[in-house]
Structure 1
Amino acid sequence: MSTARTVLVIGGGAAGNAVTVLLRRSGLTVDLIEAKDDWNATAGSGITLQGNALRVLRELGVWEQVDASGFGFGSVGITAPDGTVLHVAEDLRTGGDDLPATVGMQRPHLQRILIDAVRASGASVRLGTRVERLEQDDTGVSVRFTDGTEGRYDLVVAADGMGSATRAAIGITAKPEPTGMAIWRVAVPRPDGVTRTDLAYGGPAYIAGYCPTSDTTIYAYVVEANRDRASIPAESYADEMRGLTAAYGGFWPEITEHITDPAKVNYSWFDRMLVEGSWHRGRVVLVGDAAHCCPPTLAQGAALSLEDAWVLAQLLTGAEVWDDPLLQSYYERRIARVRPVVEASVQIGQWQLDGVRDADVPGLMGRTMTMLRELP
């Protein structure tokens, strides 16, 4: 395969950063553009990374930094709203027995680790830049950027998220759809004794949970039915979240004391989307949230995106010819793994919305996570 091939990656989130590092490792020329000037370096509260995500991060060469920055654990607790622990289950090590089952970490820390890896790879990076126009033929893609420059590429990888403008530009009409749930998130100091994720079902929210993200921090969240976002003033976010969390016991009173700054509270709806048929048009291919998204009920959003990047990079760097059958094989390999995760994630939430009390949530979660132990 000629190493003179050039790739444009649109979007500097987990999937875009990962595919950039992997393609650069094989000697390809990669340009990465990111619409935000700050490269999302401060966005988000926390993230739960299960073993299959850690497996890809190890392939990227950043596992040691992730391990040092995050908080590893191997179980999940189920509690009553008053904090009484009802059950503790061991998490499945989906990345293999030589990696933790789960690592929680502050999302900005993960992003900075990936940013450093992209910089070290030698990729060309431009921030505050979008695609203005894409024109492709049988040999490549001509791109005009919002800064007035132009480029010619053998392949364009669209990693520009759920609202992907690239997906729409190449004629794929799929769009994220709300599932009916929404989540409040905040990063706060870690109470002594919090060493795993605990989930409370019931009370004023469908779920109230927290995840340790370092020796000193956690991120806490509550899930409720979605509301009109326009009806919730941003300055009331802390009050809104605190009103929900105040009803929970255990570690929650200490957590609630720290929910004071509305600027640190995030509110977002749960969405679902799965692009069917193929994830490419010509020489433009989708990865990560641009191709699929689902509620975080299985904590697999980042993991699936990282896996997309890994699989696509494997196929591209191992092929002499980049053609339609190659890119279709990427879709076929991923869809069989992504679809069950999206469907299970949505189903778990729907059971709660419908008030189904005898739903086999543990069984569905167990079957899905067992599948994810296999290499993608």
Structure 2
Amino acid sequence: MTDRRTLPQPPARGNPTVLVIGGGAAGNAVTVLLRRAGIQVDLIETKPDWNATTGSGITLQGNALRVLRELGVWERVSTSGFPFGTLGITAPDGTVLHVAEDIRTGGDDLPATLGMQRPQLQQILIDVVRPSGATVRLGTTAETLEQDADGVSVRFSDGTQARYDLVIAADGLNSATRAAIGITEKPEPTGMAIWRIATPRPEGVERTDLAYGGPAYIAGYTPTSEHTLYAFVVERCRDRASIDPAAHADEMRRVAQGYGGFWPQITKHIADPRKVNYTWCDRLLVEGSWHRGRVVLIGDAAHCCPPTIAQGAAMSLEDALVLAELLTSGRDWDDELLQSYYDRRIHRVRTVVEASVRIGQWQLDGVRDADVPGLIGRTMSVLKEKP
């Protein structure tokens, strides 16, 4: 990783420059893929720790693993996580009602699903960005972006300035870049919220199990390694101000105590409020295009959905792969190319967003005969095709 305070002027024509705003999964992935093609990339991230310690667990399905393999990190991911191939549906008391075979959306040579600790995934991606030759500046934001026909002039929070051929906004759900370029869509609450925590893995937990009903709408867990687990409960969203952060563990434990099976072994570890995360579930889908001029959105800046089918990270990683493929195809970086990126992504992303929101709405509406496994299966069948 290179660190510099004053960025150079753009290089000669034919050697384009890119600014990536946001060092999450999408930003890190597109940085690596563009650097591999020899494109100069500067990556800025607002968090000084590069989000290396944030989050509990993450569920990665085959289409996400396919991108991680393309990034060259599959071996590390596979040894860090916990692969499995089925999804269990249980009653609140832990009785298994249905076990479905997960569709291998990444192909037969990859696991259908893999759970892992989110900070470990972020560290793996950081470790591949560092030696890529990208310039990385942490604790830095883009204060202004001024576009013309040939590029984007950017002024940063540390007072430096630079000019780029393209800016990629990977700055997440509440993207300041999205608003700055005049895209008016904003995330909307779905009415649900999720409690999350990482705990030790009880012996015998070998897959994701989801319980619908009971004290919450959904209670589930995913093994994230031989020794760890990611547990979550989904309920109707509350006013965040009404929940004292010091009581987060008490609140999550109170809801989780209503579930049987492996839950009693999980619940006893819900003790430290600092390890519990409470988040509203939002939806967002920017329509029409994901760019304005030479600034383009990827990942949660363009779309997000509730984690009801665990495809958020996969969609972001696929964005990075498709955009990098187009930018390194030899075509001009013009409006037509950036629109083709949107055109390739929108049907697939819309399918995921709509299915994820629908499953959540079924819970909110108390639909007892909802075909959750069927909708998940139909959505995964779409995702088996390459992006």
Superposition TM-score, scaled by structure 1 size: 0.99
Residue 360 of structure 1: CA displacement?
Answer: 2.2
Alpha-carbon separation, structure 2, partners of 1:154 and 1:281: 13
1:59-74 → structure 2 map (5 Å cutoff)? 59-74=70-85
Find the counterpart in structure 2 of residue 89 from structure 1.
100
1:103-252 → structure 2 map (5 Å cutoff)? 103-252=114-263
Alpha-carbon separation, structure 2, partners of 1:10 and 1:3: 22
- Within the candidate set 63, 67, 79, 1:52 is matched to 63
1:274 counterpart = 2:285: yes
SS at match of 2:217: strand
Aligned residue pairs total 376
Alpha-carbon separation, structure 2, partners of 1:332 and 1:24: 24
- Within the candidate set 36, 51, 61, 2:47 is matched to 36
Query: Which amino acid is the alignment partner of residue 6 of structure 1?
Result: T
Find the counterpart in structure 2 of residue 261 from structure 1.
272
Residue 3 of structure 1: CA displacement?
Answer: 5.3
Find the counterpart in structure 1 of residue 8 from structure 2.
none
Residue 293 of structure 1: CA displacement?
Answer: 0.3
Residue 153 of structure 1: CA displacement?
Answer: 0.3
Partners of 1:3 and 1:28 within 8 A in 2: no
Residue 2 of structure 1: CA displacement?
Answer: 6.5
1:323 counterpart = 2:334: yes
Alpha-carbon separation, structure 1, partners of 2:55 and 2:63: 21
Residue 356 of structure 1: CA displacement?
Answer: 1.0
Alpha-carbon separation, structure 1, partners of 2:141 and 2:103: 40
Deviation digits for residues 75-117 of structure 1, max 9, x if unmatched? 0111111111112111110000000000000000000000001
Find the counterpart in structure 2 of residue 364 from structure 1.
375
Alpha-carbon separation, structure 1, partners of 2:370 and 2:269: 34
Query: Which amino acid is the alignment partner of residue 5 of structure 1?
Result: P
- Within the candidate set 23, 27, 39, 2:34 is matched to 23
5+ residue gaps, structure 2, are 1-11
Alpha-carbon separation, structure 2, partners of 1:58 and 1:109: 16
Find the counterpart in structure 1 of residue 4 from structure 2.
none
Find the counterpart in structure 1 of residue 7 from structure 2.
none
Alpha-carbon separation, structure 2, partners of 1:90 and 1:360: 16
Find the counterpart in structure 1 of residue 300 from structure 2.
289
SS at match of 1:298: coil
SS at match of 1:297: coil
Partners of 1:3 and 1:29 within 8 A in 2: no
Deviation digits for residues 24-43 of structure 1, max 9, x if unmatched? 00000000000000000000
- Within the candidate set 347, 352, 357, 1:336 is matched to 347
Bigger mean CA offset, 102-111 vs 76-85: 76-85
Partners of 1:4 and 1:29 within 8 A in 2: yes
Deviation digits for residues 181-208 of structure 1, max 9, x if unmatched? 0000000000011111111111100111
- Percent identical: 78
Residue 172 of structure 1: CA displacement?
Answer: 0.2
Bigger mean CA offset, 256-265 vs 75-84: 75-84
Query: Which amino acid is the alignment partner of residue 118 of structure 1?
Result: V
Partners of 2:168 and 2:295 within 8 A in 1: yes
SS at match of 1:322: coil
* Residues 64 and 133 of structure 1, relative CA distance in 2, 3 Å threshold: same
Query: Which amino acid is the alignment partner of residue 17 of structure 1?
Result: N
Deviation digits for residues 244-271 of structure 1, max 9, x if unmatched? 1111111111101100000000000110
Find the counterpart in structure 1 of residue 16 from structure 2.
5
RMSD, matched Cα: 1.0
Residue 319 of structure 1: CA displacement?
Answer: 2.8
Partners of 2:56 and 2:198 within 8 A in 1: yes
Residue 362 of structure 1: CA displacement?
Answer: 2.0
Alpha-carbon separation, structure 2, partners of 1:208 and 1:349: 13
SS at match of 2:330: coil
Query: Which amino acid is the alignment partner of residue 336 of structure 2?
Result: P
Partners of 1:45 and 1:185 within 8 A in 2: yes
Runs of 4+ in structure 1 off by over 6 angstroms are: none
1:314 counterpart = 2:325: yes
Query: Which amino acid is the alignment partner of residue 275 of structure 2?
Result: K
Query: Which amino acid is the alignment partner of residue 104 of structure 1?
Result: G
Partners of 1:158 and 1:284 within 8 A in 2: yes
Partners of 2:19 and 2:41 within 8 A in 1: yes
